[in-house]
Amino acid sequence: MQRRSLPLVCLVCLLLALTACSIGPQYQRPTAPVPAAYKEAPPASFKEADRWKVAQPNDSALRGQWWEVFGDPELNALEEQVDVSNQTLVVAEAQLRGARAAIGVARAALFPTVTGTATVVGARQSLNRSGASSNPSNETRSDYLLSLDTSYEIDVWGRIHRNVEASIASAQASDADLETARLSIHAELATDYFVLHGLDTERQLLLLATAAFEKALELTINRYNQGVASQLDVQQALTQLETTRAQAIELGVQRAQFEHAIAILLGKPPAEFTIPPAPISIQPPAIPAGVPSELLERRPDIAAAERRVAAANEQIGIAQAAFYPTVTLRPLIGLESTSLTNLFSWPSALWSFGTSLVQIAYEGGRRRALTEQAQAAYDATVATYRQTVLVAFQSVEDNLAALRILEAEAEQQGKAVEAAKTALLLALNRYQGGVTTYLEVITAQSAALTATRTAVDLLTRRMTAAVLLIKALGGGWGALPS
């Protein structure tokens, strides 16, 4: 009778498992404010017909070697070393592996837990106890037991499946975190690289100015020896020269710090890394911003925030499932005998099958509080997601505006540089002709040097703004579908 009832019980349990329902809210991607077009982007940067499209998740799209758009072989070589040696990326990659392993931990609950037991027991009872027999052999007993004990929780309310889905979403968020770290480090390397070479350009400018000031000092000394110039003119020329030399030396501090920062990004000790001095010889490339909805596809930090919303949604379902009873099956099969000789015979076989339904009757409102806590955590992740989207749009708009305004400023500054050079030439001619004092020359020299250094600074800022715009757009745009 028992053997006939076993298949029926298993069938009922199987049907119960197949008809399991999922308790809790179904996940829907939260909405976020997405403008139809960038405020700071030129109208001609994209076609009118493409001003809007619905965003599709594309955070896993290959972003490519976006730094190659700058056309700098040295930068390309440095960027290639980041993924190999950067320790921050090693940390993020290890965290991703841990998150993926957590999926396996959660998924294991979908399968039964089988425990194997092997027991050998020998016992001898006292012959002096009450009711003991007179035959010593009757008081010595042995017992051999081999069993497989199974415990399987039926996921009637979807708690285990939701836990698996939450782990998957968390792993996807960790994957996006890795991409965010990779994008940030590549962008930081490019930014430091251009700032460093901007300092090289500025130092080269100061060295050229120093050479020009040396000639001016020589000229002033000759005029002093001829009785045309005063000792004051000589001291003013010398002051201008030494001040410029000091400024060139001062740039070495900043350059060394940026070189050390690049070494750390590459996972190298600063003592083993050197970048040869070289001025910036390129201009910022044209960077297509695309349409705002594409930003939700490109930015890995947005993808990470969205995946955390999904994981938080699953936690609500897990908390709500705790209000319902837990159904567990506990089948057992094995062999038991008092002798090894007949342990593996059919009469030694044993089995049992049981099921339990456990429902918490009272716990002082703990489950309700946990559900409210999960709902609050979900609301926080939604707000974080929307804030991440807003900050992403701000970053794009900031750098679009920076590139546009700095380009116009650089063009205007170029005119200022030409005017300052002309003024300096006139001042030198007037001084050599004895029309004016050397103070006018120094003023013109200072104005020309300041104007040229400002132009160099503008070029550096434009290059770093281009890098930051690419970072704000989520990396390489070429991998996205057109």
Tell me the domains of the chain and their CATH numbers. Answer: 17-112+156-326+366-472 (1.20.1600.10)
Question: 123-135 as b/e, with b when 16 or more CB fall inside 10 Å?
Answer: eeeeeeeeeeeee
How far is 325 from 210, CA to CA, in rounded Å? Answer: 85
Q: What is the pLDDT of residues 37-74, one digit of tens each?
A: 888 876 544 444 343 344 455 554 445 689 999 999 99
- CB 186 within 8 Å of CB 118: no
Give residues with Cβ within 8 angstroms of 90, minimum separation 6. Answer: none
- CB 478 within 8 Å of CB 64: yes
How far is 269 from 271, CA to CA, in rounded Å? Answer: 5
Query: Mean pLDDT over residues 244-270, rounded?
Result: 95
How far is 299 from 475, CA to CA, in rounded Å? Answer: 8
For residue 32, the one-letter residue type is A
Tokens of 296: 């939700």
Q: What is the pLDDT of residues 164-192, one digit of tens each?
A: 999 999 999 999 999 999 999 999 999 99
Terminal CA-CA length for the chain: 69
**Res 344: pLDDT:** 83
CA angle 43, 464, 93 (to 5 degrees): 105
Using pLDDT thresholds of 50, 70 and 90, give the confidence band for residue 124.
Answer: confident
Q: What is the pLDDT of residues 410-445, one digit of tens each?
A: 999 999 999 999 999 999 888 888 888 888 888 999
For residue 69, the one-letter residue type is V
* β-pair partners for 141: 123
How far is 347 from 337, CA to CA, in rounded Å? Answer: 9
Give residues with Cβ within 8 angstroms of 76, minimum separation 6. Answer: 65, 67, 68
- CB 113 within 8 Å of CB 328: no
SS (H, E, C) the chain: CHHHHHHHHHHHHHHHHHCCCCCCCCCCCCCCCCCCCCCCCCHHHCCHHHCCCCCCCCCCCCCCCHHHHHCCHHHHHHHHCHHHHCHHHHHHHHHHHHHHHHHHHHHHHHCCEEEEEEEEEEEECCCCCCCCCCCHHHHEEEEEEEEEEEEEEECCCCHHHHHHHHHHHHHHHHHHHHHHHHHHHHHHHHHHHHHHHHHHHHHHHHHHHHHHHHHHHHHHHHHHHCCCCCHHHHHHHHHHHHHHHHHHHHHHHHHHHHHHHHHHHCCCCHHHCCCCCCCCCCCCCCCCCCCHHHHHHHCHHHHHHHHHHHHHHHHHHHHHHCCCCEEEEEEEEEEEECCHHHCCCHHHEEEEEEEEEECCCCCCCHHHHHHHHHHHHHHHHHHHHHHHHHHHHHHHHHHHHHHHHHHHHHHHHHHHHHHHHHHHHHHHHHHHCCCCCHHHHHHHHHHHHHHHHHHHHHHHHHHHHHHHHHHHCCCCCCCCCC
Q: What is the pLDDT of residues 325-381, one digit of tens each?
A: 988 889 989 888 888 788 888 888 888 888 888 888 888 999 999 999 999 999 999
Percent of the chain residues past pLDDT 90, beyond the cut: 59
Mean pLDDT, the chain, rounded, equals 86
Backbone angles phi, psi at 105, to 5 degrees: -65, -45
CA angle 260, 264, 270 (to 5 degrees): 45
Query: Mean pLDDT over residues 128-140, rounded?
Result: 61
Using pLDDT thresholds of 50, 70 and 90, give the confidence band for residue 132.
Answer: low
Give residues with Cβ within 8 angstroms of 411, minimum separation 6. Answer: none
- CB 282 within 8 Å of CB 466: no
Q: Could you tell me the CA-to-CA distances from 117 to 120, 150, 346 in Å, in that order?
A: 10, 11, 19
Query: Mean pLDDT over residues 92-98, rounded?
Result: 93
